[in-house]
Structure formats: structure tokens, C-alpha cells
Structure 1
Amino acid sequence: MKLKSPKWWLYHLLVGGFAILMLYPVIWLLMSSFKPSDTIFVTAKSLIPDNWIWTNYAEGWKGIGGNSFGVFIRNTAIIVVITLIGQVISSSLIAFGFARLNFKGRGFWFALMMVTLMLPGEVVMVPQYIVFSKLDWLNSIKPLTVPAYFGTPFFIFLLVQFIRTIPRELDEAAIIDGCGTFKIFSKIILPLITPSLATVAIFSFYWTWDALLGPVLYLNSPSKYTVSMALNMFLSNETVSNWGAMFAMSIVTLIPVFLIFFIFQRYVVEGISTSGLKG
């Protein structure tokens, strides 16, 4: 067998060291989920628990306010699925319009959309809350899901750049065959931008699953809380915080995130790095 060069060993040692450094907080979280709550920060320097406590997971799964943690996971999953579908459909349609259709003011509207990327979310938070309040949408998932069906600027920009790499000759050939605009989108463009759509779906899943500010603003009933809100409820300023249960449920909520990443990571790379059609 051919011996590896010193550069190969040095590269993998450095990458492995950085990987361990990046994963250490997750490892610490996992180990702390098996410690008693009153000793987690006392023995923070000791990674391995002295006594393994498995009841943190049982206590955490019981939930808070008469709702098990499974209820919070179900609520979050519903919001994630609805939002993901809306963002993928709306962003792809809008991106196709900007990339392929010629209409009056296209450049202006695209520039206006790009400007919204620079606006902090806090700028539109109060106007949005007033609008949703007048629509009587408070304490429902509508404010968290309906806006997804009107496009997301970052996803639109990502898809526009991808669609522009597809030769227009394909559109012209489809027009000669009698295809209309929507058929060109569904039969030609949509299959070719699958890696980019997968990237949009993955990012949508991550951002929606971890969201806290939106649910805190619009959801008032504990039975409608998301996992982020439920985790925050384990902490208390008046009584002793149940750190063990919170860390245990944090590990549970990380499982879908890791699964999605490891299963679909190649789509993220393809969707961002692809600059043209493969021959």
C-alpha cells in the first residue's frame, strides 16, 4: 500500500481537530443530559457524569402545563411542513418569473426584493403583528405559515441564480413543441433545479424548526407551543430550573436536525455550488 504523504496526515489532523472543537458543545450537552440538574454546572469541567441519570429524559418528555413534549414536537412538525411546502412552491415560481419572464419593471421589482434582504426582521415585526392582530390570526399558526406562500427573498435569489445557468435554448425548444409558460416551468425548469430546491427545503426546515421569536409573539396557548418555546419553559427565574430535563429534550430535538443533515447534505453542496449543467 502507498504511504500517505505528511501533508495528507497534517490536513486530516487539522480537520479532525477542528471537527472535535466544533462538536464539543454538542458532546457536552449530551453528557450533561445524564447529570443531575444541581451538579451540571458544578461539575462542568468534568465531561463524563459521575452518576448517569436517565430520568432526565422521562421528566423532560412529560412536558409542561399538562402537555407532553410529543405535543410540542407535533406542533413544530406541522408548522415546518406547511412552511416548507409554501416556501418551496412560492419561491420557485417567483424565481422563474424573475429569471425567465420579461415584464415591465422586472429589474425594479427584483432590486426591491433584494433590498428586503438587508432589512432586519425587527423592522417589520410591529407592522406584521398589527396586521395579523386585525386579521384575528393571533394564537394560531397562520402568522407563522401563511407568509411562506408569498416567497422568501433569500430563497428566490438562490433559485434565480440557479435558473439563469440553464440554457434558454431549452425553453425555445419547448416553445416550438407547443409548451406554454407553466409547462416550461413544470417540465423543463423544475426537474433541473431539484438540487437547489432541496437546498431551499433543508434551510427552510432548519430555520423553522429552531424559530423562537415568531412563536413567542403569536402563540399564547401552551397546547400550541413549539419545541423552542417548550425548552425555554424548563427555565425559571422564580424557582429552580430543570436543566437536566431541558438538556435531555434539547438532544431529542437535535435528532431530526442531524438526520436531515446527514441524509441530504449532498443536496446542500450541489444546490449552492452548482454553476451550470453537467454534461
Structure 2
Amino acid sequence: MKVKIKKRNLVVDVLILIIAILMLYPMFWLIFSSFKPNSDIFSTATQLFPKNWTIENYFKGFEGIADIPFVTYIFNSLRIAVIATVGAVISSAVISYGFARIPFKGKGFWFACVLVTMMLPAEIIMVPQYLWFNQLNWVNTLFPVTVPSYFGQAFFIFLMVQFIKGIPTDLDEAAKMDGCGRVGIFFRVILPLIKPALATSAIFSFYWKWDELIGPMLYLTKPEKYTVSIALKQFLDSSSSSNWGAMFAMSVVSLIPVLTIFFLFQKYIVEGISTTGLK
């Protein structure tokens, strides 16, 4: 029986390894293609490793577009992602506490409305939002891509509500006996206990804002305010001959912050989602 179990585990491990290689192959192809001369990228597309290694693509990529270095786009994306993430996590935590702990009329209905917004396609509200932000003179500022995050995100609210519901209400009663009000309970009891959910929400929010393309394209019209996503697209539009090598090189660079955050905080993603599901 032990031999059969070991053989079965070996087969499963081999299958998982094959699937992992297939899933990671596009990223490997991107990385190695960034070291190929621009003329060899598609002529040797079936070959993973370059025949002629070069780092010229990285130098050209960091030069940027229209005399704007690529570092500027990285800074713009970081600023938007950090500001929006802080707002999304804080506002979602406050809203979640209200839904999970504070009784009020129609709570079930309003919570259902929050969940319905997750099924609403972004294209439906894109035009009304643009007209609204245009009336506020927010176009070509960071407000349209950051301020909406300060009104909560439906997915994060759902995640945190389920997490808070798993916290015993006896802790709230004990805090009340010690003189804490609702604000004190939120900051002294709830927040410290939902750190995994907060970390999970922060990581996902950073990912989504870092990769976002439509929002910055709609509201940021000046090149010096472009994000990494827009800048990568500009490598294909800036001249009659697309600079694929520079775009691939800067795509690799743009993966570094995302991969760094993932490897540093991956345990919080697993803990936050799995613990919420169990509770």
C-alpha cells in the first residue's frame, strides 16, 4: 500500500510540475525574448533561448518615450497603486464592520446591493463616471483613479464581513464593559484580528491598480502622468516600427514589484482567503 501511495503521489507531482511549466512558459518566453535583438524576437519565436544575447532593449526601454524616462511611469503607477490601496482597505474595513456588527434597518438588502455591484460590468458605468469627473474638472488628475477606492470595494467588503462574522461577539461585549464604544471596538478589537483579510485586500488592490489600463487611459491625458500600462502600449504606437524588444524588457521590469509583493506576502493571501472560507 505504501508503494502504491508513493507511486500515486509521484504521478501527481509530475502532473503538477508539467502544468506549472506550461503556465510559466509564457513568462519565461517574455524574459528570454527581452534579451533578443529586436529583429530576432519573432523570427526565432519558437526558440526559447536567444542566439545573440543583448541588454540593449533594457537601455532603450529605460530611455522611455518622448524624452520621458520609464522610471517616471513606474513612479506614477506606484503612487496611484499605493494611494488607491490605502483608501480601498481602510474604507472597506469600516463598511465591513458596519455590516457585520452594527444592526440597522435593511442591512441585508444593502449588503446584497454591494454584492450585485461585483457582477456589474465596468463598461456600464464608464461613460457616466467620465461625465461626472469631467464636470468636477478631475480629468488629467489622480482623483478619478484613486478617489473611488475610498468608498469601498465590493470584493474586499464581502471578504472582511465573512472574516469579522467569525470573530466571537463576546470580545465586543468585553470591550464594552471596559468602556469602549463602537469606534474603540473597531480599532482595538476588530482591526488587530482581521490582519490577514486586510493584507489580502491590500495585495489584490495593489495588483489591480498596478495593471489597470482603461482608467488611466481615460483620465490621464498628459504623457508625464502616464502609468506603466500605458507606457508599454506606447512602445508599439510611438513610431511606424514597433519596438518589441524595449516593450518586452520593460514588461519584465514591471513584473518585479508585483512578484516581489507576492513572494513576500503570499502567506497572507492563502491565510486570508482560506480562513474566511472556513469561518
Give TM-score, length-normalised by structure 1: 0.96
- 1:129-172 CA-to-partner distances (Å, cap 9, x unmatched) read 00000000001110000111111111111110111111111111
| 4+ residue segments displaced more than 4 Å | 275-278
Partner of 2:138: 137
* Bigger fraction of residues in helix: 2
Q: Which runs of 5+ in 1 are unaligned?
A: none
Name the % identity.
58
Q: How many residues are treated as equivalent by the alignment?
A: 277
Partner of 2:242: 241
Q: Is the 8 A contact 1:57 1:245 kept in 2?
A: yes
1:67 matches 2:68: yes
Q: CA deviation at 1:8?
A: 2.4
Q: Is the 8 A contact 1:166 1:277 kept in 2?
A: no
RMSD between superposed Cα atoms in Å: 1.6
Q: Which runs of 5+ in 2 are unaligned?
A: none
- 1:10-45 CA-to-partner distances (Å, cap 9, x unmatched) read 122111111111110000000100111222111101
Closer/same/farther in 2, CA of residues 236 and 69 from structure 1, 3 Å limit: same
- 1:181-240 CA-to-partner distances (Å, cap 9, x unmatched) read 011000101011000100000000100000000000000000000000000000038611
Q: Is the 8 A contact 2:31 2:249 kept in 1?
A: yes
Q: CA deviation at 1:250?
A: 0.2
Q: Is the 8 A contact 1:88 1:201 kept in 2?
A: yes
Tell me the SS of whatever aligns to 2:119: coil
Q: Matches of residues 159-238 of structure 1 in structure 2 within 5 Å?
A: 159-236=160-237
Q: Is the 8 A contact 1:62 1:69 kept in 2?
A: yes
Q: Is the 8 A contact 1:165 1:276 kept in 2?
A: no
Equivalent-residue separation in structure 2 for 1:22 and 1:184 (angstroms): 45
Give TM-score, length-normalised by structure 2: 0.96
Equivalent-residue separation in structure 1 for 2:237 and 2:172 (angstroms): 59
Q: Matches of residues 12-51 of structure 1 in structure 2 within 5 Å?
A: 12-51=13-52
Which AA in structure 1 matches 2:266? Q
- 1:74-104 CA-to-partner distances (Å, cap 9, x unmatched) read 0011001100100010000000000000112
Partner of 1:10: 11
